[in-house]
Amino acid sequence: MKILIVEDDNSLASAIAGVLTKLRYVVDIANDGQYGWQLATTYNYDLILLDVLLPKFDGINICRQLRREGYQMPILLLTALDANNDKVIGLDAGADDYVVKPFDFQELTARIRALGRRGTSSLPPILEWGSLQLDPSSCEVTYANQVLYLTAKEFSILEFFLRNKQRIFNRSAIIDNLWGTEKDPPEEDTIKSHIKSLRQKLKSSGADYNLIETVYGMGYRLKPLSDKETSHAESESAHNKKALLAEIAKQQKAFKAKVGERVNLLKQHINLIYEGKQNPQLWEDAKQEAHKLVGSLGSFGFALASQIAEKIDNIFQDVAPINQAQSLHLCKLVVDLQRSLEQTDIDTNNTFTSNVLLVVSDDEQIAQQLVDATLRIIVNTATISSVVKSGVTSIDASVVLIDLDSDYDIKDSLKLIEEFSNRTPPIPTLVLTQRSSFNHRVEVARAGGRGFLNKLMSSEKILHYITQILQSVDMSEAKVMIVNNDLNVLNIIQKLLKPWGSKIKTLQDTCQFWDTLIEFLPDVLILGVKMPDIDGIELCQIVRNDPDFYSLPIMFIVDESQADISTLLYKKGADDCIIAPIKEAELITRILNRFRVNRLP
């Protein structure tokens, strides 16, 4: 499959090309719209990955013009514009799909695979059984990459078995299915001769002679794959995934080594603007660099740095020139950007592989489709009976997906959902079902289910929803800063949060508050009310007055004697109040709720 990448961010384009090359795609790169147009109209590509904001010729117009000229191959838009109107414009221009920067490399490759399948949807899929492959479109058969030369009838028989892998057919059934409409169908002995010849050709290529085995008294079937063959296929798939993840980690490391130069260049531009040396070209250069950094930083795993770059980009979207206060704010933001990059380390050993999805179902195909659609989540499988037998306490998973349409009583599934929800920490549990009645939805909700998914949904959509659930409940990602002069309160909260893996920063001296806040950059701030030097209400107001921290979730811990102060705290900017004594379940739930709300787009 040959792909054209049209992207003006050289670092991002090279990284995408590196990942796609690892997946054995052939890749060409164009760094501006005009060159991209020339390549697209000169050479044949199976897919075009097209950035929207390009110099010389923007992506929307390239897409629109290609469609006007009859271009039929898939076009995937790559954009930092997340507004619905921009998506509609892109799709109306003829794009088949879009990915918003910053993106997940696994999601990008999954979208490309999906579009690749759509582009060849008129071709029947290749049929496989272990090392045996049959391509119905080219009529080619291979075993361990060695071509087998079959007659038309041998090909038909082999294809028939590959389309009915688990079934047994006698000679009469084979004749009825393959030659039932013919006036002179072959004799049963002829079928026996065809199968004998087919077995010999398979054996000569290295396959087991009895790959099409005889089930005495019943007929023929494909011989079940051995554990060795199955494990080999699984290990090969795991190896490919590991290699791809290693390539992504390599690209991340290379990007981090170079991104400092780009940020320094942006800082130089901003310093000149602050000094009053604004000119249209300087402004445009800084604007473009800030915009590119938003997408590339996020895509390479620097989420916080990407958010800071987005704030810089938003200022540049205003009409130049800017006032001195805005330019001073730009200088502060670019310093924060540099600090964020210095403090962020990418764990290349665990990138994208820490989450485990347990699929509880008797249908192996469901799990396999999810495995094929993702590299980001490890997918394990189990039957309902095995989970019931072993108990939920023995399950190691980040999220559970239960097939509600199994042969087991639905009450067993609902009981499992309830048990997973009551674990500490709870495991979010979703159901996959063809049922759609309101009563079933009520039962799942009452049991503590976190999602009710229809089996008609695509694997990509199911995984997208699961990813959102994981992001909303992963306390290990939460950075919690606690400010209180009572050491006992600090120790209690720290002890309650420790099992959840959250990063915690405690502080007693309020005079060090601002420096600690800037350095730690918490996701949730927990304050006491009465403290020496600067009280909690004043700290809350200071945070709310800052353009970078005004939306930070703030919670207060208050004594029962201070309960009547909660109205005042809400007026001053508090998001929540917890009345001591602190209960673990209440604290965790409230922090999670604040964490989720703050991460909503």
Residue 228: other Cβ atoms inside 10 A: 9
| CA separation, residue 593 to residues 225, 406, 575, 576 (Å) | 48, 33, 10, 10
The alpha-helical segments, DSSP class H, found in 317-363 are 324-343
Token reading at 41? 């109209």
Tens of pLDDT, residue by residue over 562-575, are 667 888 898 889 98
Q: Which range marks the domain in which residue 377 is found?
A: 355-459
Distance, CA of 535 to CA of 572 (rounded, Å): 12
Examine the domain organization and report whether 372 and 417 are in the same domain: yes
Examine the domain organization and report whether 29 and 142 are in the same domain: no
Examine the domain organization and report whether 426 and 360 are in the same domain: yes
Give the strand pairing for 429-433 and 399-403: parallel
How does residue 350 score in pLDDT terms, banded at 50, 70 and 90? very low
Examine the domain organization and report whether 213 and 243 are in the same domain: no
Contact between residue 25 and residue 2 where contact means Cβ atoms under 8 Å apart: yes
- Of 459, 494, 528, the last residue of a domain is 459
How does residue 390 score in pLDDT terms, banded at 50, 70 and 90? confident
- Of 97, 119, 141, the last residue of a domain is 119
Contact between residue 343 and residue 335 where contact means Cβ atoms under 8 Å apart: no
Examine the domain organization and report whether 595 and 497 are in the same domain: yes
Q: Residue 71 domain-assigned?
A: yes
Q: Residue 15 domain-assigned?
A: yes
Q: Which residues contact 150 (CB under 8 A, 6 or more apart)?
A: 141, 158, 198, 201
- Of 224, 253, 275, the last residue of a domain is 224
Tens of pLDDT, residue by residue over 269-303, are 888 877 777 677 777 778 788 888 887 887 777 77
- Helix, strand, or coil here: 48? strand
Does residue 347 carry a pLDDT above 50?
Answer: no
HEC string of 415-426 equals: HHHHHHHCCCCC
pLDDT at 352: 43
Examine the domain organization and report whether 427 and 319 are in the same domain: no
Q: Please report where in the chains the tokens 């950059």 appear, as a residue.
A: 521
Q: Structural domain tally of the chain?
A: 5
- Give the closest residue to 165 by CA, choosing from 120, 134, 205, 206: 134
Examine the domain organization and report whether 141 and 59 are in the same domain: no
Tens of pLDDT, residue by residue over 178-234, are 886 667 888 889 999 999 999 999 999 988 888 999 988 889 999 887 655 554 554
Examine the domain organization and report whether 250 and 287 are in the same domain: yes
How does residue 313 score in pLDDT terms, banded at 50, 70 and 90? confident
Alpha-carbon dihedral of residues 578, 584, 587, 593, nearest 10 degrees? Answer: -150
Examine the domain organization and report whether 536 and 557 are in the same domain: yes
Provide φ and ψ at 48, rounded to 5°.
Answer: -115, 125
CATH number assigned to the domain comprising residue 220: 1.10.10.10
CATH number assigned to the domain comprising residue 66: 3.40.50.2300
More confident residue, 10 or 469: 10
pLDDT at 242: 63
Distance, CA of 308 to CA of 272 (rounded, Å): 20
Residue 215: other Cβ atoms inside 10 A: 12
Q: Residue 535 domain-assigned?
A: yes
Distance, CA of 309 to CA of 9 (rounded, Å): 15
Global model pTM greater than 0.75: no
Highest mean pLDDT among 119-123, 372-376, 521-525, 594-598: 521-525
Per mean pLDDT, which range of 146-160, 211-225, 257-271 is the poorest?
A: 257-271
Q: Please report where in the chains the tokens 């991104």 appear, as a residue.
A: 259
More confident residue, 228 or 59: 59
Examine the domain organization and report whether 479 and 592 are in the same domain: yes
Token reading at 539? 């700290």
Q: Residue 125 domain-assigned?
A: no
More confident residue, 144 or 371: 144
pLDDT at 239: 55
pLDDT at 182: 66
Q: Please report where in the chains the tokens 């102060």 appear, as a residue.
A: 565
Examine the domain organization and report whether 211 and 262 are in the same domain: no
Distance, CA of 261 to CA of 532 (rounded, Å): 44
Q: Residue 247 domain-assigned?
A: yes
Token reading at 170? 């006698």
Strand partners, 97: 76
Residue 276: other Cβ atoms inside 10 A: 9
How does residue 375 score in pLDDT terms, banded at 50, 70 and 90? low
Examine the domain organization and report whether 583 and 500 are in the same domain: yes
CATH number assigned to the domain comprising residue 247: 1.20.120
Q: Residue 348 domain-assigned?
A: no
Does residue 586 carry a pLDDT above 60?
Answer: yes
Q: Residue 468 domain-assigned?
A: no
Q: Residue 165 domain-assigned?
A: yes
Q: Which residues contact 27 (CB under 8 A, 6 or more apart)?
A: 2, 3, 4, 5, 16, 17, 20, 21
